[in-house]
Chains A and B, each alone.
Chain A
């Protein structure tokens, strides 16, 4: 066991004190529950009761040889002392091995529970007290005085251990107070605690070379599909725009290599559909395009609208995973937003790309923050980060010490990074049902998006790379990698040693990611992770019927009642599902995660959302016609 901070902070020290105290006190008759106390001879172990105390017990069988009786008595005492020390040590070692400060509290609690049980058992098996209990107690007046001093003494010892184990552990009480305060203020209700599995967070971002044929699906974001603006046989350069759309909600797509356009055909897309894609044969020259945007380090000379246009031309979308075009978000929030929140929560298990990006590109991040603040004219700027990234928090604190940008430490909880939950946790505002964050003056943006904005405006470089976390038992080594958009999953996975034992390939985190049916799919703008799960990581459960435990109600971060909604959807009572606000569901998966009956609640929620959404659209169109 590792000692932390001198002998006074070592829990072993306190166990030793406890052991010494118990040894000494065991020889004090009044403090030893094994020894008779007072006149009534209350024993801890009832077999001794009838014989009137341990000394008499041994006297009666070994009256001829009292030395032997004394030896046996000592052996009994040592056994008792050893038992107490063993229990104390076991609990503390167990608590320490589990790690974390909460487990030491847990250990102390169990220690107290053991003593309480002994206390109850003492009264339960003390026959004498039971048989003549009422009269004895009536005679004595107060039952509490009848408890041997030894029991009080040992209860005291238990408190002693509880207090000292807390004091002896390396708890920073300032930090505990800080966290308690933040847990109460900066929190949202609901949510779940999946196992984090963030083993890749200490692994630096690697770069992998592009492959021979790069694939660019024409839909890499939420919104309208792009139209190709190159033809088969054209020579394209690095960073050249190859597809664009006139629609408002859309983002252009750029070539991430130089080479010739081989063909434009349908290709497998990570969402599971087949979508038109441009395929470029790489010449490995990386000839930069002349039409790279003009770099603009003194961004304050331009108007916000011009900067937003530059962001659009760079094809930037939200890098958190949903891939909503950033320029649309910025433009819709202009003039309305007074608070910008940077989402560095990264609450999904396994994912560590945002964490690495903060550590490795902190200067670009801070530059990007200033640009976003200039564009939005925001008064407040927060970075929301979960407390499981202490090195990133430390770095941000150091770099932003004199800045007005505040770092808000959030509890590790899923879905802390959900837009509405993050706003609630960071600045206490509640986005009304069916409204957007801009309606309460907030704008939420991912860390990686901010860095992409910095690169687009200061370096003039369009969005061409994506940080991807590769993890799971299906790859030989795990890590974070910077991938050019358009690279196949197969190329990325082979770089990490893809095993054929993989049974499930997930794009994104395990809570909201999409399972893939093929590895011949390109990395797109929203690919935050590739998780290869083998058989042992799969959860194959038989679902039983709902036992109405209410776990889903407790876990839902949107405060819905998933089990009832699922039942209504099952029975096709969509009007009732609508009344229970099924449209507010953010599809975070908390209900499915927590359900002990393993009901796929989230699928029912999705069906409900689609059907109710269709009904609402129809109603709206009908209203317009009339």
Chain B
């Protein structure tokens, strides 16, 4: 008989690994990817492919140059690549995601120590890097789905940044915003497809409800109570804000990024509320029409701090549970 293996308990483990978790996220992003190809044709496909390949390539090259063990098996580079591509407009040139991937993977993720140790969400940081460096390419031209006619995003109309004196209802209906028949980044237009993916992630227990609900809920409540657009009702105004822009993409897929969000339930709720408030403030008072990515990037800084302040009460600790009366 060969020798027996001795190890610490537990001797049974869950089948879920980092790779399967990332696989679930990719599967949840699949409807949106299909939607992007239907809306923006081969341009979207090209951007996604270039982005994913360059993210994987840069992670590989970094590990080789830094003489570190390969980390490609965790599939997180593919998720980052896909999310980065979703944040690009369909008019972006194909070399743009390569630069974004270089920044996101090498600077934001690997130099901080790799998956789990990064402070900022790589895809978000990559998007903002491109946004600030190549503003005209990233926000100058938006095209409507299918026909490629240039069109502004609903949020730009809400902000009236386009300079035209048209009301938003002339351009888009709420259903347009929900289903995706609006201008915008390739992955953010269809709230319906993102919602399908988000429900899948919740069902598979990859993410918890805390961040998406508190994030979207905060945006909905603030825009409903304090609308800044007189021509339409507050109810409609709220719907436009919730269904347009990158809110669903951010709330379900980017703010819930494990490494850069709190791990305690209470911390996640506060984090989501913070994201929602900053998003609305930027949309209301900021220089840009859209604020989801800046909001998430800012709240990323507070993730570990929130953890420290919201450590759950231990079982049987003070002020929790049912006190019993001694009879």
Give every chain A residue within 8 A of B259 (Cβ-Cβ). 547-548
In the complex, B65 has a CB within 8 A of chain A:
no
Asked if B74 contacts A430 (CB within 8 A), the reply is no
Asked if B4 contacts A559 (CB within 8 A), the reply is no
State which of B83-91, B123-131, B190-198, B216-224 sits at the interface with chain A: B190-198
Complex Cα–Cα for A272 and B7 (A): 11
Give every chain B residue within 8 A of A113 (Cβ-Cβ). 196, 199
In the complex, B147 has a CB within 8 A of chain A:
yes
- CB proximity of A147 to chain B, nearest CB, Å: 10
In the complex, B16 has a CB within 8 A of chain A:
yes
Asked if B11 contacts A504 (CB within 8 A), the reply is yes
* Also in contact, A123 and B179, with CB within 8 A (given A441-B324, A559-B315, A584-B316): yes
A133's nearest neighbour on chain B, judged by CB, is: B181
Question: Do most interface residues of chain B lie in helix, strand or loop, or is the interface mixed?
Answer: loop
Give every chain A residue within 8 A of B1 (Cβ-Cβ). 500, 502
Give every chain B residue within 8 A of A440 (Cβ-Cβ). 324
Complex Cα–Cα for A557 and B172 (A): 50
* Also in contact, A580 and B116, with CB within 8 A (given A272-B6, A516-B6): no
In the complex, B45 has a CB within 8 A of chain A:
no
In the complex, B311 has a CB within 8 A of chain A:
yes
Q: Mark A155-193, 1 if CB is under 8 A from B, else 0.
A: 000000000000000000000000000000000100010
Asked if A550 contacts B258 (CB within 8 A), the reply is yes
Complex Cα–Cα for A123 and B173 (A): 14
State which of B17-25, B228-236, B275-283, B285-293 sits at the interface with chain A: B17-25
A137's nearest neighbour on chain B, judged by CB, is: B173
Task: Select one of B13, B71, B193, B321 contacting A539, CB under 8 A.
Answer: B13
State which of A198-206, A388-396, A560-568 sits at the interface with chain B: A560-568
- CB proximity of B53 to chain A, nearest CB, Å: 23
Q: Which of A120, A512, A594, A600 has the most CB of B within 10 A?
A: A120
Q: Interface size (A, Cβ < 8 Å)?
A: 88
Q: Which of A113, A133, A441, A547 has the most CB of B within 10 A?
A: A547
In the complex, B163 has a CB within 8 A of chain A:
no
* Also in contact, A131 and B321, with CB within 8 A (given A124-B38, A137-B175, A515-B7): no
* Also in contact, A510 and B315, with CB within 8 A (given A134-B171, A547-B18, A563-B263): no
Asked if A125 contacts B311 (CB within 8 A), the reply is no
- CB proximity of B294 to chain A, nearest CB, Å: 22
Q: Which of A138, A192, A272, A589 has the most CB of B within 10 A?
A: A589
In the complex, B309 has a CB within 8 A of chain A:
no
Asked if B314 contacts A558 (CB within 8 A), the reply is yes
Asked if B326 contacts A441 (CB within 8 A), the reply is yes
A window 134-162: CB within 8 A of B: 134, 137-138, 143
In the complex, B226 has a CB within 8 A of chain A:
no
B window 190-211: CB within 8 A of A: 190, 192-193, 196, 199, 203, 208
B35's nearest neighbour on chain A, judged by CB, is: A124
Give every chain B residue within 8 A of A124 (Cβ-Cβ). 35, 38-39, 179-180, 190
Asked if B320 contacts A430 (CB within 8 A), the reply is yes
In the complex, B146 has a CB within 8 A of chain A:
yes
Give every chain A residue within 8 A of B117 (Cβ-Cβ). 545
Task: Select one of A131, A510, A516, A581 contacting B4, CB under 8 A.
Answer: A516
Complex Cα–Cα for A476 and B14 (A): 26
In the complex, B12 has a CB within 8 A of chain A:
yes
Complex Cα–Cα for A278 and B143 (A): 86
* Also in contact, A420 and B315, with CB within 8 A (given A514-B9, A541-B13): yes
Asked if A593 contacts B14 (CB within 8 A), the reply is yes
B6's nearest neighbour on chain A, judged by CB, is: A515
* Also in contact, A429 and B322, with CB within 8 A (given A120-B179, A516-B4, A539-B11): yes
Asked if B14 contacts A594 (CB within 8 A), the reply is yes
* Also in contact, A596 and B18, with CB within 8 A (given A549-B263, A561-B264): yes
A500's nearest neighbour on chain B, judged by CB, is: B1
A window 488-538: CB within 8 A of B: 500, 502-506, 510-519, 531, 533, 538
Asked if A131 contacts B147 (CB within 8 A), the reply is yes
B window 267-309: CB within 8 A of A: 268, 307
Give every chain B residue within 8 A of A120 (Cβ-Cβ). 179, 190, 192-193, 196
Question: Do most interface residues of chain A lie in helix, strand or loop, or is the interface mixed?
Answer: loop
Asked if A338 contacts B11 (CB within 8 A), the reply is no
In the complex, A82 has a CB within 8 A of chain B:
no
A427's nearest neighbour on chain B, judged by CB, is: B324
Give every chain B residue within 8 A of A134 (Cβ-Cβ). 170-173, 176
Task: Select one of A420, A519, A548 contacting B116, CB under 8 A.
Answer: A548
Give every chain A residue within 8 A of B322 (Cβ-Cβ). 428-430
In the complex, B8 has a CB within 8 A of chain A:
yes
Asked if A544 contacts B115 (CB within 8 A), the reply is yes
In the complex, A597 has a CB within 8 A of chain B:
yes
Give every chain B residue within 8 A of A533 (Cβ-Cβ). 11
* Also in contact, A510 and B10, with CB within 8 A (given A117-B31, A431-B316, A433-B317): yes
In the complex, B133 has a CB within 8 A of chain A:
no
B window 247-273: CB within 8 A of A: 258-259, 261-265, 268
Complex Cα–Cα for A143 and B172 (A): 12
B window 19-47: CB within 8 A of A: 20-21, 31, 35, 38-39
Q: Mark B175-189, 1 if CB is under 8 A from A, else 0.
A: 110011100000000
In the complex, B327 has a CB within 8 A of chain A:
yes
In the complex, A349 has a CB within 8 A of chain B:
yes
Complex Cα–Cα for A527 and B297 (A): 53
In the complex, B93 has a CB within 8 A of chain A:
no
B114's nearest neighbour on chain A, judged by CB, is: A545
Asked if A433 contacts B171 (CB within 8 A), the reply is no
Complex Cα–Cα for A432 and B314 (A): 9
Asked if B4 contacts A420 (CB within 8 A), the reply is no
**Could you give 6 example pairs across A and B, Cβ below 8 Å?**
A131-B147, A511-B9, A517-B4, A544-B116, A550-B268, A602-B9
User: What would 10 more interface pairs be, CB under 8 Å, given A512-B10, A544-B115?
Assistant: A424-B321, A434-B316, A502-B1, A503-B2, A506-B11, A513-B9, A538-B5, A547-B259, A561-B311, A594-B16
